[in-house]
Amino acid sequence: MPDLSNFSFQQEVDKRRRLSLFPGVNGGPRARSIRRTRTPSPKSTENRSRGYSIFRYSLKGNMVSLDDPLEDAHLVQVIRQCMLSSTDTEYFDLLIPAIKDACVQQREDGLMMALERFAEDKEAEIEQMCNENHQPFVQSVEQVLKVREESMKYTSEILKLNQTIQKSTESLAAKKKALVDSRGTRQNIDEAMQALHSSLEVLAAANRVHELLSEKKHYTALRTLDELHNIHLKEVMHFEVAKIIQSSVPAMKTMIKEAVMTDLNHWLYQIRETSKLLGQVAFDQTELRRERQKERAEKSQYFELFKLNSAVELVLDEREEFDVLNNENVMIDFTPLHECIHIHEALELRDDFRLEYSDVRRQQKELLLPVSVSFREDDISGLAQVLEEIAGFAIIERATMRRTQNFRSASDVEELWTSMCSKTIKIITPAMQEVNNSDTILKIKAILSLFIQTMDTWSYNVDILDAFLLKLFERYSELLKKQFSKDFVEIVQSDDYMPMAITDAEEYAKVINVSWFKDDRDAEEIQYPTVLPFSQMYPLCCIDLRSFLNKYYFFSREYFHHPHRIDETLRVSLDEMLMEQVCKSLHERLTSKYLGQIVQILINLEHFETACSELQILLRDVSASAHAGPVQLEALEMFRNEKKTAEKRIFELVNSKLDDLLEGAEYDWMPDTAEETASPYLLAMTRFLTDIMETTLLGLPNDIKGFVYFDALSHLASEILVSDYPQPPPLF
């Protein structure tokens, strides 16, 4: 048995496969045919030696030697490397370049001969090995045949098994095909379900938009619509339903816009109806702030320096938290407006909405103001309602501007405010001219002041209203002068021009309190009834003067920024009334021939002079300016002049009476003897002067009485000297 321990069947198969690629090489078709037709013999060996005498080779291992090494060294090297290659790839990588070189060099025959000789040598080597080991080879062949028989048997079984497996495979393939088909169907179903689910999500989102609209959740509806448009629809845009919904998105946005505008219009209508109540609440709150400020001023004079809406008052009043827009009486919810702004901003229509809202508020402003107001029967309720509605409207505008960003501009709000103020003044002015009662003007001023202070709290410009208060004050001053002038005329005309009789101490105290009169007598020693030097007209005029003064300053209570105007107007008005209504009226009565009336007028004039002096001091004290100079009333000088006129009139009446007495007097200028007693007319004149001094002229000051005596005697002397008396006889 040959030693087959180092024999590799796979290597041998590979080697034979390589040799079979070429005709004549062992393993190839030509080699097999040669092996079938001839058997090795010495003769054949000899013939081969002669046919290829040009070659001389020897077999040493696996090496081939050629006669011309310089010419065929490369071929020998290539064949040797090819035979030693371990893989087909390496084999062909070496062989193909060799074939290519042989073809290029036109040595194809040499290459073929070298390969054939190599194959024949290998074949001879194999034959030699077989001859030397014939018996083991035969045994090996028998074993191989047995193995082949067993392999054939196994091959048959394998074929049967293969058929069985093939049948099973066909069934499995059919099932697999069915599975693949079912998977495709399942995939189609899944895709259809996914598409249906996506479509249902789109439809649900669209329906959700309508539901949110019905629930008044407009902004949420718009967000849902945006989500539908930007997310859900993009996933199913290849479906027709998505295209339909896509085309309806603008219409749905329009629906949301119309719905939110409907709610906004309803809100605007509500705040229009609530404006009056809002104004009332704001006015009430201002009244409460006034009361709190008065209480602070009563506790400390320091707080009298600060008015309503001053920085100090606002800080002190911060502790009293009150929201005019959100309380038990009024609750203004700005949610509809904010929602409308957000939606129009999301729709990129904010500017259009801002202009539209401004137009609507402008139209509401026009509807807010009436064509005219009336103050008939001193009723100002119509004006109060108008101001309350304006205040409510303006407060909402200011709150809207503060609660939104870049929506209501300050210029638009101020324009509306100025327009409302101008129209309000326009409708008040003609109605104000029809008012004949100063108290009604005070009521108008009071409600206007409350309105101004309330709106000043909300940072509105009230200059135009301040200017209108001046016109209102002028009308008030005009009515006061008219009213008190009428009263003064009635007092002067109805006076009895007699010293005022006082029946008791209470009446005395009242008269003393209202009159600028200082009685030299002690009040406890006065016996009632008693009389005061002036007539009843003087204390009545003093009462009216004080009332006139107070009424003027009533106008500046609570709110009035022009106190100097009041001071000046009051001074001028007092002067006019004292001069025109009092002094001139008394002057007109100086033509009376009743001495007692003239005397009483003089006494009254003297007291009015005192009253003027006191009024000057009072006006200076109550003046708005701390550095105001002395106040001068022209009436003071006029009363002084009229006093002199009254004194002259008294002198005239006394002298007139003296003239009457002198008319019937007869005086003997040439008596024979001297008279021991006074003339009768002198006695009559003396009695007359004594009587009037003790009665009619009793109330005159002593200095005036002295002037009466002096003037009477002077007049008497003058009259006597110019009277008709006989001329003395000539001396010669």
- Domains of the chain in start order, with CATH, are 9-132 (no CATH), 257-461 (no CATH), 477-649 (1.10.357.30), 654-722 (no CATH)
Going by their DSSP bridges, the two strands 500-502 and 63-64 should be labelled as: unpaired
pLDDT tens digits, one per residue of 402-440: 998 889 888 999 999 999 999 999 999 999 888 888 889
Give 546-564 pLDDT, tens digit per residue: 998 888 888 877 777 777 8
Cα gap 728→731, rounded to integer Å: 9
Give yes or no for residue 610 having a pLDDT over 70: yes
Collapsed DSSP state (helix, strand, coil) of residue 204 = helix
> What's the one-letter identity of residue 634?
E
How is residue 9 written in tokens? 């069947």
Amino acid identity at 604: N
Residue 530: its H or E element: strand 530-532
- What average pLDDT does the structure give for the chain? 79
> How many C-beta neighbours within 10 Å does residue 358 have?
17
Q: For 560-679, where are the alpha helices, taking DSSP H only?
A: 563-576, 584-589, 595-621, 634-663
Residues 6+ apart with CB under 8 A from 40: 124, 127
**Model pLDDT, residue 657:** 83
Report the alpha-carbon distance of residue 83 to residue 429 in Å, rounded: 132
Half-sphere exposure of 242 (CA within 13 A, CB side): 20
The pLDDT of 55-63, averaged and rounded, is 35
Q: Which of 263, 230, 265, 262 is nearest to 249 (CA)?
A: 230
Residue type, 342: H
Which residues are within 8 A (CB) of 357 and not within 5 positions of it... i.e. 6 or more apart?
264, 407, 408
Q: What residues does 326 pair with on adjacent strands?
A: 331
Burial class (CB in 10 A: 0-12, 13-18, 19+), 603: buried
From the list 306, 285, 288, the residue with the least C-alpha distance to 297 is 306
Task: Report percent pLDDT > 70 for the chain.
Answer: 83
Q: What is the rounded distance in angstroms from the CA atom of residue 608 to the CA atom of residue 346? A: 80
pLDDT value at residue 51: 37
| 205 pLDDT above the threshold of 50 | yes
Distance between CA atoms of 643 and 587, rounded to whole angstroms?
9
Q: Which amino acid is at 277?
A: L
- Biggest CA pair distance of the chain: 245
Mean pLDDT within 45-52: 39
Instruction: Inform me whether the pLDDT recorded for 43 exceeds 90.
Output: no
What pLDDT is stored for residue 620 in this prediction?
85
For 595-620, what is the mean pLDDT?
89
pLDDT tens per residue, range 165-174? 888 888 888 8
DSSP 502: E
Greater confidence (588 vs 293) lies with 588
Of 480-484, 611-615, 626-630, 679-683, the poorest mean pLDDT is in 626-630
Terminal-to-terminal C-alpha distance of the chain: 236
Q: Is the predicted pLDDT of residue 22 greater than 60, yes or no? A: no
Q: What is the pLDDT of residue 267?
A: 92
Per DSSP, helices labelled H in 680-723 are 680-694, 702-722
Residue 607: exposure state from Cβ atoms within 10 A (0-12, 13-18, ≥19): buried
Q: Among 103-107, 265-269, 462-466, 503-507, which stretch is predicted with the lowest mean pLDDT? A: 103-107
d(CA 164, CA 430): 122
The better pLDDT of the pair 556, 146 is held by 146
Task: Report whether pLDDT(45) > 70.
Answer: no
Residue 39 has pLDDT above 60, yes or no: no
Residue 56 has pLDDT above 70, yes or no: no
Of residues 206 and 338, more confidence is placed in 338
What is the distance between the alpha carbons of residues 280 and 329, in angstroms, rounded to a whole number?
10
Q: What pLDDT, on a 0 to 100 scale, did the predictor assign at position 666? A: 67
